[in-house]
Amino acid sequence: MKINADFDQRVIVHSDQIDWVPSPMAGVDRRMLDRIGGEVARATSIVRYAPGSSFPEHTHGGGEEFIVLEGVFQDEHGDYPAGTYVRNPPTTHHVPGSEPGCTIFVKLWQFDPDDRNQFSVDLNAETLGPAEGQKGISASTIHQDERETVSVEKWAFDAKRSFDAPGGAELLVLDGLVIFGGEELGKHSWLRIPPGDTLNAQAGKNGARVWIKTGHLTDVTAP
């Protein structure tokens, strides 16, 4: 299966406008943003767990990172409420599910094979500082290594955000409104720009809070 698999092209997905697709597990549905592969795939998705649903125990051969968008995600390591960002690198394993139900943004098989940095962080509690040279933008770096940088940013109303992306970039709107290329991206809309492109975006009414990942799209491989 291939969905938005040409990584030389810009992609915008308004997630609330695409259909939910059932997963192999009852009560777990997906909105596929990009994908290369079948059930084992290099994938970016929004996944919805109905109350009481779960997946069996599995190992992350290619790593997994996710943001809890709504509800409470759970596994044997604990409860992760809305706003939690989690990195589960290759070789980690768990039994994911949700008694109350939840929705997560998740990326699979996109880690450096040698990455072993497992952690979780509450994005809502992050202390943001002024972004250098970016008026009206505050930011915090959540994870950074030689391959990629992950951050959360808050944009004031009408603030303009610009940066070159030699390694490509992704942006997920957590709250508010982002304007890119004349198009409005609302809550949980997703943008991907290819390596060598430039992000020139602006916050809409009431500003925006966004998750941004850069540098990771120069080596796109499927499992």
Angle made by CA atoms 81, 83, 87, in degrees to the nearest 5: 90
86: closest CA among 193, 77, 41, 138? 77
The rounded distance, in Å, linking the Cα atoms of 171 and 188 is 10
Q: DSSP string covering 189-216, please?
A: -EEEE-TTEEEEEEEEEEEEEEEEEES-
Name residues whose C-beta falls within 8 Å of residue 169's C-beta, 6 or more positions apart in sequence.
163, 192, 193, 197, 199, 212, 213, 214, 215, 217
Q: Please give the pLDDT value at position 55.
A: 85
- Phi and psi angles of residue 17, each rounded to the nearest 5 degrees, phi first: -105, 0
Model pTM score = 0.95
Q: Please give the pLDDT value at position 74.
A: 96
Half-sphere exposure of 117 (CA within 13 A, CB side): 10
pLDDT tens for the chain, 223 residues: list them: 999 999 999 999 999 999 999 999 899 999 999 999 988 899 999 999 999 998 888 888 899 999 999 999 999 889 999 999 999 999 999 999 999 999 999 999 999 889 999 999 999 999 999 998 899 999 999 999 999 999 999 999 999 999 999 999 999 999 999 999 999 999 999 999 999 999 999 999 999 999 999 999 998 887 8
Domain covering 19-122 in this structure, CATH number:
2.60.120.10
Domain limits of the chain? 19-122, 126-214
Q: Do domains 19-122 and 126-214 have the same CATH topology?
A: yes
Q: Please give the pLDDT value at position 39.
A: 84
Residue 143 pairs in a beta bridge with 150
Q: Please give the pLDDT value at position 193.
A: 98
28: closest CA among 57, 54, 46? 54
Using an 8 Å Cβ cutoff, are 22 and 47 in contact?
Answer: no
Residue 65 pairs in a beta bridge with 87, 107
CATH superfamily, with its number, for domain 126-214: Jelly Rolls (2.60.120.10)
